[in-house]
Structure 1
């Protein structure tokens, strides 16, 4: 595979994470919650996100000045069943392993209940959930030079045991002061009704490349990143479209650094007669399960 010079700099502390330098990347996510106060406080205390904007019915949280997560509520929010299409997890990408270790030490100090920890070869990941059951991954990528690419451009991934103790022991000893300004939502992992429809939408319509597959899951990335969006049917096989005021994932945004890639996606959406609405944030549409997607450049 042709070497990308950005790979040499993207993983340094001064540069944006590799995920954010690609032709497209995830911007922010929007969750509908039942208890705004409790859930918002969790993301601020446990994840270290900062309040950017706040109202009676919602709060926008971020890293530095960058909004990453919007939480909203209303009186008619209905708890989505575990089998519903929607969020599997939001994945918060730390700019380096040192920050991941520092967050882990902070979370342990607060008594976090972890759901798992994995070495994915391309990354080291820790899993937990917010008070309403929305999945969260906190991870750091390994240097891109250490990733193994196949001849077809896909990347080698696995799910191996992560040595949490070693990661914890490597943490800086000072107090953690919150999510680093360079943190981002590196990827979003979705629950969908079926994988062929997800492949058609994310690869065929939005132009992402299928970078890896697991049984019942596809991983789509832009510009050789291991994945910006993943979709699985592990809990949600056959799930219909989301309806009404379901709790969980209302939608998320994809930002295009490459405006031509955005124009190509918009042309494909038009040709396939998929409704797109122009909003202040960008081009808003629904995926096959009525999860909102906003495209912007």
Structure 2
């Protein structure tokens, strides 16, 4: 695949919007994202819950008990990553996880510090904070360098408390400024992923390995991740990720996405579907994963 020129790339202001999950037990899953992740329940009925921060929706949970559970071979979600605005906020999240759930992993990625856990349905969740961008290490080719080093967990815990003792009272809600920083997918083909999300949508490849791609707009470390670590071989079909949003700044950026997707579709190398929506586009990729592209 050839490099993407600046005119064929997403604007720097591009971000991830909402993510949506299909779940069997809406009550249990809603309680997890409220009590552990710290999102507020903004709207709730028998079939759907919308959660977020400061009246901004970040997560939609759809009750779908009749849909089968995700199979071990199915593509889909690796994790939804909720980004908090400070190390103190990450420490507060760690306190909720320790008190109310279980921590599955914790990593220092050089650009960020991250906590990992699974929700009650087995969907992956990351809660992380970015280090200041001027502190991100950069390789000679200009690529932001990331790693997976052990996290100073107790240092993060102490950051939640102003006196550094790590004994701060539990904080129930994630603070203002929390958002969905990135979404990480499990795919069957990295080439097919790049065709849709790089050639089509216009993300640029950053960190890349034989079984992983991180892509972003505006030089961010990654807005999307994709991996083949678990050898998924079939399209997404069961419960789990329903869709997620890529939000572009204006109508011109949305039109450019449509033009790029048309060109990829005309090439015919990868099958995917594009549907026009009232607020933008819905793209279903070769793995059956739906990404919705809309303007601010």
| SS of residue matched to 1:276 | strand
Query: 1:11 aligns to what?
Result: none
1:81 corresponds in structure 2 to 71
What per-residue deviation string (whole Å, max 9, x for no partner) do you get for residues 206-264 of structure 1?
11011102341000011000000000011134x22223xx1100110000125433322
- Equivalent of residue 256 in structure 1, options 229, 241, 248: 248
Mapped pair 1:140 → 2:140 = no
Q: What stretches of structure 1 of length at least 5 have no aligned partner?
A: 1-20
CA contact (8 A) 2:198 2:205 kept: yes
What is the aligned partner in structure 2 of residue 230 from structure 1?
225
What residue number does 1:67 align with? 57
Number of the residue aligned with 1:189 = 184
- Among 282, 285, 288, the alignment partner of 1:284 is 282
TM, length-normalised to structure 2 = 0.87
Q: How does 1:19-58 map to 2 (within 5 A)?
A: 22-58=12-48
Q: CA–CA distance in 2 between the matches of 1:123 and 1:170? A: 15
**What is the SS of the residue equivalent to 2:93?**
helix
Structure 2 CA distance for partners of 1:75 and 1:103, relative to 1, 3 Å: closer
Aligned counterparts of 2:145 and 2:252: Cα–Cα separation in 1? 28
Q: Describe the SS at the equivalent of 1:153.
A: coil
Aligned length: 273
> For residues 281 and 51 of structure 1, what CA distance do their matches in structure 2 show?
24
| Distance in 2 of aligned mates of 1:278 and 1:196 | 25
Supply the RMSD in Å over aligned alpha carbons: 1.7
CA-to-aligned-CA distance 1:112-144 (integer Å, 9 cap, x gap): 211110000000000000001000000000000
Query: Could you tell me which of 69, 81, 85 is aligned with 1:91?
Result: 81
User: Which residue does 1:242 correspond to in 2?
Assistant: 236
Are the aligned partners of 1:153 and 1:224 in contact in 2 as well (CA < 8 Å)? no
